[in-house]
Structure 1
Amino acid sequence: MTYVDLVLQKLSTDGEREALIGGDTRLTRSQARDLLFRLADGLTQRGVRPGDGVAAFVGNTPEAVLLTVAVHLLGCRLVYVPPEPGPSELAALVKRAEVAAVVVDPAFSDRLDGWHLQDLPGDPVERTPAPGHTTVSYTGGTTGLPKLAVHRSHSTARLEALRHMPPTNMLCNTLITHGSGAGVSMAALVVGSKLVLGPSTFDADTFVRLARDEQITTTMFVPPMMYEVLDHPDCPGPQFLGIGVGGSPLAPRRLRQAIEKWGPVVFQAYGMTEALGIATMPASDVDFARPETLRTVGKPNPGIEVEARDGDVWVRGPMVMEGYWGEPPLSETADGWFNTGDMGYFDDNGYLYLNDRSKDVIVTGRTSDNVYSRLLDDFLVTLPGIRQAAAVGRPDEALGEVVHLFLVPEDGHDVDFDSIRDSVVGELGELYQPSGITIVPQLPLTQVGKVDKRRLRSQFR
């Protein structure tokens, strides 16, 4: 049995109960079940077969959520395509994923060719769910080249533990093509909750309205989203049963503010695309008299092994990816262990603390997306007058981090910040927009001759 069986069970009961809401669309359980089967039939009529890869380049809509389930229903390989990359990176991602089909939200069709989601539904042919499926998620790594984390159907087995939980009114704030959004949407369908989809681009005003109008009781944020809601003049009061937060470093002061505002329902969730659920820190474990409890990401979740080896955090278990698409599985290369790229340690009580990332990914933006510094570094030195470049993350209370550039110009060349910023945005997109520049005569190097980005970042502490 997979989570798809559990979803169909819920959608087959209490058919008039609302299941999915997004924009102007409101679907009951019966309507959602019917559309799920019609989407699966539309894929089948177009030649998609079990095991084929189907790329989903979609936004936060009820139809898109059901599409992802339909791909798994057929036993296919679902490839999540996030909207952040530029056109060339999107094309490279889809090519690397080796898919048989691409389904696009019509709003995104100017950036990637594929079957339009609105044209996909076929006949309401009922099907027995396939015994297994695969999910492939974009992660990018530190080089900017597309990397695709592979999870098999056993990685969603944790959802079975939710099947007997009472339904809630759940609001999904993050994109369903990202780990947290996908997890929230699948959990809601398994539990039988009313799933309300926030817009593909987060908006605090919309959150406040939906929380009020839809009587939302559970939700999940990445930190910048939560900060915007906490700062909103009409921030909701203690109406929530559970609020998860994760995806990037969380300011202890803000966590305390959230708990004081909403009560002991706020919990941290530590995970990543490659390892979906590593640790959890419930608000009930936070003690304001011990400030260190506001900095820990909690204890490892059941079923996952977590070790701190010489400061590096390693994980192993069913929630950890099989490996990257096109590369040997972890079982062959590391006995199933995965180096998260985070640096941290355990205290004497078994709580995990993260104190740095060994990777140079910059986590920024209102949805805590990844900026691949190597990609930015390589582009910057193609600009006139730039001899060397290094992009790092500068701490920012609102966004977690912002992009800061250290540049070594050619002799006699004056650096024009506006020109560089416009060039970066034009080539790599708004997410890569630098917020500041520091001109230096040379970049610091490690003993092995690599740019020492840790020293550069230390200038902001």
Structure 2
Amino acid sequence: MTYVDLVLERLSTEDEREALIGGDTRLTRAQARDLLFRLADGLVQRGIGPGDGVAAYVGNTPEAVLLVAAVHLLGGRLVYVPPEPGPSELKALIERAEVSGVVVDPAFSTLLDGWDLRDLPGDPVERTPAPSFTTVMYTGGTTGLPKLAVHRSDRRWEAFRAMPPSNVLSNTLITHGSGAAAAQMALTTGSKLVLGPSTFDAGTFCRLAREEQITTTVFVPPMMYEVLDHPDCPGPQFGTVIVGGSALAPQRLRQAIETWGPVVHQTYGMTEALSITTMPATSVDFERPDTMRTVGKANPVLEVETRDGDVWVRGPFVMQGYWGEPPLSETADGWFNTGDMGYFDDDGYLYLNDRSKDVIVTGRTSDNVYSRLLDDFLVTLPGVKQAAAVAQPDEALGEVVHVFLVTEGPDVDVDRIRASVVAELGELYQPRGVTVVDRLPLTKIGKVDKRKLRSLFR
């Protein structure tokens, strides 16, 4: 049994209950089930069968969500194509993924040619779901050439099975890990899934949360910050707020809990290793600041450990390997090095210092400055709304700390900021450069784009 069996089961009851909403499209369960089968038939008519690769270059629409389920229903290999790369890199990605077809949504982007999602549906032929499928996810290309992480028949749905239905608002693209997980969670629980626009907008979120009576939502941190700062930010209407994908500033976590109540759940994971740890809001104690810095305890179905400061993970939510490369079972006994640096405390809570690529190596003795630690501290200073510390090349020291700030006003006391940093974190963390910007650059999935900030110094 795969999650598709459960989805079809949910869509076979209460036919007129709403299932999928996106833009001007509203689908009932019966309509969604019919469209899922018609999309699968359209793929079959184009020669797609078990094991065949289908690339999806689509935005946040009900049709795109059902396309994912249709490929998996047929036992195909779904390849998520992200929006970040340019045309040449996209074509190289498609070639590397060895797919049999590409499904595109021209309303989302025209950078790739392929089967138009609008023309794909065929006949409503009911099919029994294949026993297994494959999902391939692009790593984002933050270091070296982008890679494709291969996951076989994701079992996360088993954790969703007992959850009651709710009204879910998904904010990230469905071709991103958190967006895909939100869609799967909603479909397998029989929830109403509301899709935010392909490009996140805090005002639209606030409107949809109110109009659709949203009770469950999924963010990456910068999106949540924009909502918290928005004048129409919803009050405590949510039963569950899930936030993950990048580091969460403790002060912002506190603000979210104070705004929405103890419903804010942090998750730590990545494209290659899903759902590594979780930290429920009920475990956060404002009197113990360390509880706002941890990403929680390890998922009980995974093995998680630190080796020389690096976080390693093994288990069913870890990718099989990268497409075209030997599987992890052959090269590392199934273990994957996340590239994150962290440690466990005596109670089993994991704390992350930084991504290894974001560590700033500076000083006369080449010491490590953990940019996440600095980011988190800077937003506690009066007037600082967002912060991103990156390495700036320096002839004498190799690298020095440069911070980009989003502030409440144009007048920034740089000397005060530097003095505060030194007093709290030490001389090593002192920013040598400070740049005030209107907003921090984000990747298309909503994470702060530190690679783009570092490129400003090249």
In which range does the TM-score fall when normalised by the shorter chain?
Answer: 0.7 to 0.9
RMSD, matched Cα: 2.3
Cα displacement (A) at 1:193: 0.3
Query: 1:206-257 CA distances to partner (integer Å, 9 max, x unpaired)?
Result: 0000000000000011110110000111110000000011111111000001
Instruction: Give the AA of the match of 2:311.
Output: V
Unaligned stretches of 5+ residues in structure 1: 363-391, 409-424, 440-461
2:301 aligned partner: 303
What secondary structure is seen at the aligned counterpart in 1 of 2:230? coil
What displacement does 1:201 show? 0.5
2:303 and 2:2 mapped to 1: Cα distance?
Answer: 23
Worse-superposed segment, 140-149 or 73-82: 140-149
Counterpart code for 1:41? D
Mapped pair 1:105 → 2:105:
yes
Give the fraction of aligned pairs with identical amino acids, expressed as a percent.
76
Q: How does 1:436-451 map to 2 (within 5 A)?
A: 437=456
Does the alignment pair 1:334 with 2:328? Answer: no
Matches within 5 A, 1:51-450: 51-153=51-153, 156-360=154-358, 395=375, 401=388, 406=393, 433-434=452-453, 437=456
Once the two structures are superposed, residues 396-424 of structure 1 have per-residue CA deviations (whole angstroms, 9 ceiling, x without a partner) of: 8566647775488xxxxxxxxxxxxxxxx
Name the amino acid aligned to 1:122. G
Cross-structure match for 1:29: 29
Alignment correspondent of 1:39: 39
Alpha-carbon spacing, 1:37–1:10, altered in 2? closer, same or farther (3 Å)? same
Deviations 1:105-162 (CA, angstroms, capped at 9, x unpaired): 1124520111110010000000000000000000045434120000000xx2231232
Residues 124, 400 of structure 1: alpha-carbon distance in 2 compared, 3 angstrom cutoff = farther
Question: Quick check: 2:38–2:124 contact (8 Å CA) kept in 1?
Answer: yes
Deviation, structure 1 residue 164: 2.7
Q: Counterpart in 1 of 2:404? A: none
Instruction: Check conservation: 1:224, 1:400, Cα contact below 8 A.
Output: no
What is the count of residue pairs matched by the alignment?
Answer: 389
Q: 1: CA distance between counterparts of 2:188 and 2:14?
A: 14
- AA matched with 2:178: S
Cα 1:236–1:7 change in 2 (3 A) is same
Please report how far the alpha carbon of residue 20 of structure 1 lies from its aligned counterpart in structure 2 after TM superposition: 0.1
Deviation at 1:17, TM superposition (A): 0.3
Shift of 1:166: 1.2
- CA distance in structure 1 between the aligned counterparts of 2:282 and 2:159, rounded to whole angstroms: 21
For 1:113, give the aligned amino acid.
D
Q: 1:109 to 1:246 in 2, by over 3 A?
A: closer
Distance 1:322 1:255, change over 3 A: same
Question: Are 1:52 and 1:77, in contact at CA under 8 Å, matched by a contact in 2?
Answer: yes
For residue 99 of structure 2, what is the amino acid of its counterpart? V
List gaps (5 residues or longer) in structure 2. Answer: 361-370, 380-384, 396-440
Which residue number corresponds to residue 381 of structure 1? none
Displacement of 1:436 in angstroms is: 8.5
Q: Classify the secondary structure of the residue corresponding to 1:208.
A: helix
CA distance in 1, matches of 2:10, 2:262: 29
Q: Distance in 2 between matches of 1:128 and 1:299?
A: 38
SS at 2:131 equivalent? coil
SS in 2 for 1:314: strand
Task: Return 87-96 or 53-62, whichever deviates more.
Answer: 87-96
1:412 aligned residue: none
Change (3 A) 1:91 1:144: farther
Task: Give the CA deviation at 1:299.
Answer: 0.1
Q: What is the CA distance between 1:49 and its match in structure 2?
A: 1.7
1:86 to partner: Cα distance: 1.1
Q: Distance in 2 between matches of 1:292 and 1:405?
A: 29
Q: Any conservation in 1 of the 2:358–2:390 contact (CA below 8 Å)? A: no
TM-score normalised to structure 2 length:
0.81
* Alignment partner of 1:50 is 2:11: no
Q: Is contact 1:19-1:29 (8 Å) kept?
A: yes
> Relative to structure 1, is the Cα distance of residues 151 and 289 closer, same or farther in structure 2, using a 3 angstrom cutoff?
same
Q: Amino acid of the residue matched to residue 105 of structure 1?
A: D
In structure 2, the residue matched to 1:16 is 16
Partner of 2:112: helix, strand, or coil? coil
Asked if 2 retains the 8 angstrom alpha-carbon contact of 1:402 and 1:435, the reply is no
Normalising by structure 1, what TM-score? 0.80
Residue aligned with 1:212, SS: helix
Partner of 1:370: none
Separation (CA, whole Å) in 2 of partners of 1:437 and 1:103: 35
Q: Which amino acid aligns with 2:317?
A: M
Preserved CA contact (<8 Å) 1:204 1:225? yes
Q: Partners in 2 of 1:330 and 1:436 — Cα distance?
A: 32
| Per-residue CA distance 1:415-446 (angstroms, 9 max, x = gap) | xxxxxxxxxx9xx9x9665489559xxxxxxx
Q: Is the 8 A contact 2:167 2:192 kept in 1?
A: yes
1:78 partner SS: strand
Q: Is the 8 A contact 1:243 1:266 kept in 2?
A: yes
CA distance in 1, matches of 2:326, 2:454: 39
| Change over 3 Å in CA distance of 1:81–1:438 after alignment to 2 | closer
2: CA distance, partners of 1:201 / 1:12: 32
Aligned counterparts of 2:96 and 2:386: Cα–Cα separation in 1: 31
